[in-house]
Structure 1
């Protein structure tokens, strides 16, 4: 029913404005000009993942500092629920939407609905396939892959034999992290093997066990996320070898492993910073300022102090 109402409203707006996509002033959310009156709607893909909890915390804390209201909804990794959640946020009169999509294609319809009634949309970590998004706030995955390769070269030298554990085939993070890694590795390292382990710790363990048998002289491993890296470490420990392992994300288990002297390093994302940058982008957009289409959140390489 809600979707039907929104669809009818969109058609009405087009009719009233002479087939223009620009809605009349009465249909636009009103904002006084005082940032404290700004109401933000935040839709998160899942709050069952510590990364996205930290992202949410970054939004809520930054908005609180500036005296703004945030309404948070959890899609629970259900794209249909997320679309309904965003519909609800629109009906609650939010001035701007911050969306961390569960599915970039599925979220497109409600992004277009928001566009039709003048509500700006900013995406976090992932973007939407269609509809107008003012800005995407995300980490630079390609840069992170480069950082991992550069650290291996720095510590072990050129032509070091390396194994690459890839994420889910076709996933944007897999593609971008791998691309960044190979921008350096193809020139300065010897990647003797690479195989997908689907961002999964158990698969990382099993794949690493198999690759070690065929590549006994490998000196380093780059895993596209920390879960695979931690699985690889288990396989390496069982083999009795001393091999550098670098992960990606900076999750709690990875940081503890670094402190324990097991994981060599992780390319750490900063989800709270992503949230903070998204709030600032929301303020800028609703104030009429231009924002960059992609707002990168810096990465940092974490090693044992």
Structure 2
């Protein structure tokens, strides 16, 4: 009898492991802190649910991302999450996932027909928050450097909002505009460009607008090294390093995206669709799910700094 019970228990464990939910996760570039935050939160939450996460880094390559997506389809994963991805550029691979009836959820990737939903902050709103704060801080006057990133829909939208805001401020002059290439060396590239501007313009620079925070790290480091310590520097994302820099006066402000919350929403959608068998259209009646992103500056940064930072 005892042997029979042991056999049954072992059999149940084997069945449980056989039918464990396997979820694929692809991010465009883990070198970007925002994407690393989403990935880390997603992996932790998936494991907490007893699922098996397959974590993949495209390292900035569309081709690699398409291949990774096709590999996940071949693995017959139960769901796929793509963070800061390029669904339009890899549409043929995405169509294979749709054909295989695998639910695909995107995070901050722009909604495309067929995915369950895109979970994101409203980049037009974030662009407006940080850009109006920026020009207000300048008093509507001064010389600025603009550092954009055009390869991601969100950062591109923020840059377009900045252009609209600046059109109403003729007293603000753009000394230079740099578009960061999509590569693993994006911070080094930004630093090199900022060094050129610091040497060329020096104390003429009153402000630097950055499409996301890591660009602001490179820019603010250069400004500090060149003794340009009164320059207004802003970005978007809201990482702990950003909050530390704001606290120390090295950066001025950011809009803090709740990347961990985005991962949590994705996990909840997978649970509803894969575990609870709720149709995707009912699990996500809205195809774009927005989460709020507050503006953070010296006035409220203590609320966001992790204890010990």
Which TM-score band applies after superposition, normalised by the shorter structure?
0.7 to 0.9
1:240–1:71 distance in 2 versus 1, CA, 3 Å: closer
1:211–1:252 distance in 2 versus 1, CA, 3 Å: farther
**Within 1, Cα distance between the matches of 2:191 and 2:108?**
22
**Within 2, Cα distance between the matches of 1:110 and 1:117?**
11
Residue aligning to 2:147:
166
Residue aligning to 2:305:
none
Equivalent pair of 1:221/1:243 in contact (CA under 8 Å): yes
1:109–1:237 distance in 2 versus 1, CA, 3 Å: same
**Residue number among 177, 201, 226 corresponding to 2:191 in the alignment:** 201
Deviation at 1:206, TM superposition (A): 2.2
Residue aligning to 1:55:
38
After superposing on structure 2, the runs of 4+ consecutive aligned residues of structure 1 that deviate more than 6 Å are: none
Cα displacement string for residues 126-166 of structure 1 (whole angstroms, at most 9, x for unaligned residues): 2476x622211223222222111332355554x23352413
Residue aligning to 1:32:
none
**Residue number among 55, 79, 83 corresponding to 1:100 in the alignment:** 83
Deviation at 1:176, TM superposition (A): 0.7
Residue aligning to 2:22:
39
- What is the TM-score when the length of structure 1 is the normalising length? 0.72
Give the alignment of 1:144-159 within 5 angstroms.
144-152=126-134, 155=137, 157=139, 159=140
**Within 2, Cα distance between the matches of 1:152 and 1:106?**
33
**Within 1, Cα distance between the matches of 2:144 and 2:211?**
11
**Within 2, Cα distance between the matches of 1:208 and 1:267?**
25
Runs of 5+ consecutive residues of structure 1 not aligned to the other structure: 1-35
- What is the TM-score when the length of structure 2 is the normalising length? 0.71
Runs of 5+ consecutive residues of structure 2 not aligned to the other structure: 1-18, 181-185, 303-309
Length, aligned pairs only = 265
Deviation at 1:177, TM superposition (A): 0.9
1:244 aligns with 2:226: no
1:141 aligns with 2:128: no
**Residue number among 57, 60, 67 corresponding to 1:84 in the alignment:** 67
Deviation at 1:81, TM superposition (A): 3.3
